[in-house]
Structures are given as C-alpha cells and as structure tokens.
Amino acid sequence: MKLGNNIRRLRFEHNEMSQEELAVGLGVTRQTIHSIEKGKFIPSALLAFRIAKYFRKNVEDVFHLMDDNDISLSERT
C-alpha cells in the first residue's frame, strides 16, 4: 500500500502554482512539498488536512490509498 496524491494536478488547477508558493502558503519547505508529491514522504494527518484545506478540498480528494496493482500500473504509464 502507498499514499497517492493529486497535489501536482491541484497546483496546476490553481493558476499553475509553484511548489515554492504552496510551501510558503503552508509554512513548510519546498523540499517537503516535492517529497510529498513524489510519494517519498508521507505527511502527518495535520499537514494532510492543511493541504486539503488550502485547496478547499476534502482530504480524500487530495490523498488516496494505492494498492500494489495501482502502483505497478502508474509506474508502467
């Protein structure tokens, strides 16, 4: 199981917002946003809710669980 996210898509839907702009808005570093987007770092529940609130979405609209099949499919495409 892995935690997938739509942050990259949401950023682009918000006037092609950069990772740095999102980081400044959330009070974290750009590297943190980069790592979450890439799925290398799993954020705390608090940060996940803050990200969702920032985009005015529910948490499940931003983050979703990916099982192994989803991961291998996404890696192939």
Partner 1 sequence: MEMAGLFPTAGNRLRLTATVTLVLLTFCFLWLFYDLYAYIAIKGKSPDSEAIGRLAGLGFPVRILLFISFAVLLLKAFRNGFKASLPVIITIITGTASVIAMFFDFAALDDIGNDYLVHGYRCTGEWFWLFGSLMLRMAFYISLALFIVLIMRSQRALTEASGLVVDEALFEATQWVGIVCGMTGVAFTVYAYAVLGDAALKSWLTWLMLFYCAVIIIPWLALVAYWIFRLATKTDRTVYDEKQRHDLAFSGMVTWLSSIPLMAVIMIINFGDESRATAHLWFPFYLFASLLIFSATLLTRFRRG
Using CB under 8 A, which of the segments 10-18, 33-41, 51-59, 62-70 binds partner 1?
A: 33-41
C-beta pairs of 4-7 under 8 Å, 24+ apart in sequence:
4/39, 4/63, 4/64, 4/65, 4/66, 4/70, 4/74, 5/36, 5/37, 5/39, 5/62, 5/63, 5/64, 6/61, 6/62, 6/63, 6/64, 7/33, 7/36, 7/37, 7/51, 7/62
Size of the residue set binding partner 1 (CB under 8 A): 17
Which of 34, 54, 66, 71: binder of partner 1 (CB under 8 A)?
A: 34
Binding-site ranges for partner 1 (CB under 8 A): 20, 23-24, 27-32, 34-35, 38, 40-41, 43-44, 47
